[in-house]
Amino acid sequence: MIRYTESSKGLDAEMLAGFFEGWSNPPSPETHLQILQRSAHVVLALDHDAGRAVGFINAISDGVLCAHIPLLEVLPSHRGRGIGTVLVKRMLAWLRPLYMIDLLCDADVQPFYESCGMKRMSGMMVRNPDWNRAIVDG
């Protein structure tokens, strides 16, 4: 049974294994836990039977004008069940009072976000491929 929560309390790193599929240099489960704990808002999908998180979304925000949604992921074993849609809609409902809610994504997932009520825009970004190495080595 999937349960949704808007709190990372009670979550531990062991419950976060398996995320960041396809990343060449993924955050560890311990770093993932810190990301969720330090976010302005999170929504988690928890599989009660498995005792683990199977999906998550997070937002960073100034709490006044704008928010950015940097991460959304559902484990491959749980995709196709509407979990991602629930996560996005719950996050957008929480962020609704803000003027702007931004999210960068690849073109192939834009139709998904459009189905959740978001609109296409263009944007710019910088990625540091050595980010995780700097944390581990630093």
The rounded distance, in Å, linking the Cα atoms of 138 and 131 is 10
Q: Quick one: what percent of the chain has pLDDT higher than 90?
A: 84
Can you tell me whether residue 39 is helix, strand or coil?
coil
pLDDT band of 7, cuts 50, 70, 90: very high
CA separation, residue 8 to residues 11, 99, 121 (Å): 5, 26, 31
Count of alpha carbons within 13 angstroms of residue 50, beta-carbon side: 17
Per-residue pLDDT tens for 92-117? 999 999 999 999 999 999 999 999 99
What the chain holds in terms of domains, given with CATH numbers, is 2-137 (3.40.630.30)
Q: The pTM is what?
A: 0.91
Task: Reply yes or no on whether the pLDDT at 131 is more than 80.
Answer: no
- Predicted confidence (pLDDT) per residue in 63-76, tens digit: 999 999 999 999 99
Q: What CA–CA distance (Å, rounded) separates 128 from 66?
A: 24
